[in-house]
Structure 1
Amino acid sequence: MASIGELRMDDTFQAIKRREHVAWKQLFEIYFKKLVLFAEYFLMDREEAEDIAQEVFVDLWTNVRELPEISNLKSYLFVQVRNRCLNRLKHLHVEDFSKQWLLEAQMYAEIPEVEIDQELLKRVYGVIEELPDQSKVIFKRCVLDGKKYREVAQEMEISVNTVNTHMKRAYKFIRSRLGVSFLILLSVI
């Protein structure tokens, strides 16, 4: 079999449709890293970008026989990655909104007053201070000041996606240091 460089992309698609592993492997080797970088531009998360790029290749291999003819395989791959990234960002936005709603619901529910352990509170603030500078500022504005992501993005002249990424990283960092229980403490601060 000729290499992809020697074949036209529609020939490559036909080879993949015939389940020729060599064609699929070559396509993967040529485009995987490029697709990861493209996805990382959207998500600002290398692991998720790699997952999405891999999913696109797996889906191509799995569903190639059901797909209509693809004359521009390169464009198809990039569009698939872009769409998955946008769906992931949309999901993260809904997830963040749901978390915020849950925290507000817990605060307004008739939950007995929780006595705040001052030592634990100091630990939480200490871990927040360990965050990278921009993540720390964004986290404080969103969580401690109660501002919406859009407000913080406008104030800092950055995108809402950037705020979302910093918040996700901040929560991950804090969870790794304090466990999940810190969320309840944050809701009463």
Structure 2
Amino acid sequence: MEPHVLFSENDDVRQRIADGDEAAFTELFRHYYAQLRPFVQRFATTGADAEEILQETFVRVWLSRDKLPGITNLRSWIFTVASRQCLMALRTQLNDRKKITAFRQEAPVSTGEMPVDSASLAEMTLLVAEAVNRMPPQRQRIYRLSREEGLKPAAIAGELSLSVSTVKNVLVIALKEIRDHLSASGHVVSLLYILQHFF
């Protein structure tokens, strides 16, 4: 049996993820991470770049989780998402190589999730609130509807008369702003950790 069969054919697992089950999503992350990494590394310049692409891929998967029950070949779909992230990364490298080089020198990226004790988590929670309060009103509202009210992108889009893709893009931007604010304050954690605890 192929290792991806559980997620490509098990409707229950996909439905649990679509319903926001973080434990099921973590299973999917661990399952596909190892499969995606060799593919992503073909396009990434460094290990840190590969990690960034992988994290962004799973952020996109999470934000599109409502689609999972209707996807026939989940593995193929996830690889397509990863391919798009690789393409975006390559375009960024070509258009802004100097800026990326400077960023790598000044802000090393963690390749794993650092242990976070309760005191650090409390501080991070305050920093996240600070980052959210600094966001433009619409971005802040979309984040709060997602995080505090648990609405899916489609529901948020309907309430605010926006497209679902716009809502998803805004949530990705919000996630990056939160991560950057945490990093600037000395908390370097993975995107997945931020996604699971603050999204």
TM-score by length of 2: 0.42
Larger-Rg structure: 1
TM-score by length of 1: 0.44
